[in-house]
Chain A
Amino acid sequence: DAGVIQSPRHEVTEMGQEVTLRCKPISGHNSLFWYRQTMMRGLELLIYFNNNVPIDDSGMPEDRFSAKMPNASFSTLKIQPSEPRDSAVYFCASRETGANYGYTFGSGTRLTVV
């Protein structure tokens, strides 16, 4: 199993541009999570999906952030327009449905907005 795959690994963009982060969860994992990590705030849950349906997006900071999961093997997190304060590492994680399972994290996307 290749694990949770995220792309790109690094993204540098100018303020105001649209940014799209991508994630492929582990096959068979029905729950997918997007996290953001910064030095100041640590790991924050942005949104999670269960069986491709968004369940809780209360962690999404603003309307500039949106996430989709069109099928069981692909999810995107989009920021439009991007701002310097969005600079962070964005992680995707997946797990099997059920409270007793643990998370598998991707390697993350380091986003820098200049």
Chain B
Amino acid sequence: KQEVTQIPAALSVPEGENLVLNCSFTDSAIYNLQWFRQDPGKGLTSLLLIQSSQREQTSGRLNASLDKSSGRSTLYIAASQPGDSATYLCAVNGGTGGFKTIFGAGTRLFVKA
């Protein structure tokens, strides 16, 4: 049974700091992994989708890496800004047709001005 863990559960950093959010999963038979951002009271916004055959994906200040064999993904945020404050969730897609998606509990990030 796939289990997805995100560490840390919460993180507070000063503005400008580079930071890494971690996501680990127990079953390496996945199709892809998706990182989302969720602002309080809002829906999930997709940040990056990384396929199982890929090692990393980049979008602006964000970089996601995937090491399927070790069951790990990281989301790197460069030069953090107060606007980055949100909860970040990773979702691991597996199962038949990639319909078995397991979400992590999220990392709550607070970037102080």
Contacts and interface: CB of A to CB of B under 8 A. Distances in A.
Contacts of A31: 99
* Interface residues of B, dominant DSSP: strand
Given A55-B99, A98-B98, A99-B31, A108 B105 contact: no
Interface in B68-113: 89, 91, 93, 97-99, 101, 103, 105-106
B60 interface: no
Interface string B13-52: 0000000000000000001101010000111111001010
Interface in A71-114: 91, 93, 98-108, 110
Contact of B46 (A42, A50, A91, A102): A102
A93 B89 CA distance: 15
B105 A42 contact: yes
B21 to A, nearest CB: 16
Contacts of B93: 99, 102
Contacts of B32: 99-100, 102
A33 B100 CA distance: 11
A43 B101 CA distance: 10
A56 B51 CA distance: 24
A105 B39 CA distance: 13
Contacts of B31: 99-100
Give the size range of B's interface with the partner. Answer: 20 to 34
A45 B101 contact: yes
A1 to B, nearest CB: 13
Contacts of B36: 105
Contacts of B103: 42-43
A34 interface: no
Nearest to B97: A99
B34 to A, nearest CB: 5
B43 A108 contact: yes
